Amino acid sequence: MGAGVGARRPGEAAAIAGFIPLWAKGLVWVYENPDKWIQEYYVKTQNLTAAQAQSIIDLTSKPLLPPNWDAAIAWEQETVDLLAAGGFVKPFKADVLFDRRFEALASAAVADTYRN
């Protein structure tokens, strides 16, 4: 894996690996409990009105956490190729942007309905 996260400091990779399932479960909780999230987060800590917070929630889609990143990497490669063709970046393989050690952690932490 080269010099990516945790290659030199394994504690960082372990911390990230521990955080990802919690983050995924948090996304699902917010999706399943929008009224609580609006009041406890947006209203109480961000000083938004309930109506403003609801407009944010209305723009939020169901979390879908894929068990593998093949499609995401292919999509990112299309972006890299487009930018390279326009002279904005030098061509490179998009897979270097993804640390596949963390690939399945989010989807494994949530119910099937949140995997795609």
- pLDDT tens-digit series, residues 38-86: 999 999 999 999 999 999 999 999 999 999 999 999 999 999 999 999 9
On whether residue 1 sits in a domain, the answer given is no
Tally of structural domains, the chain = 1
Query: Would you say residue 61 lies in a domain?
Result: yes
Nearest alpha carbon to residue 98 among 110, 116, 80 = 80
- Would you state the pLDDT for residue 27? 97
Tell me if 63 is assigned to some domain: yes
4's tokens: 């990516």
Say if 68 falls within a structural domain.
yes
Average pLDDT in the chain: 94
Of 14, 15, 111, the C-alpha closest to 63 is: 111
- CB-based contacts of 38: which residues, under 8 Å, 6+ apart? 50, 53, 54, 57
Q: Which pLDDT score is estimated for 82?
A: 98
Residue 72 covered by a domain:
yes
pLDDT(32) > 50: yes
Residue 104 lies in a domain: yes
- Structural domain boundaries enclosing 86: 10-114
Check residue 9 and give its pLDDT.
81
Q: Using an 8 Å Cβ cutoff, are 31 and 80 in contact?
A: no
Cβ–Cβ under 8 Å, residues 41 and 54: no
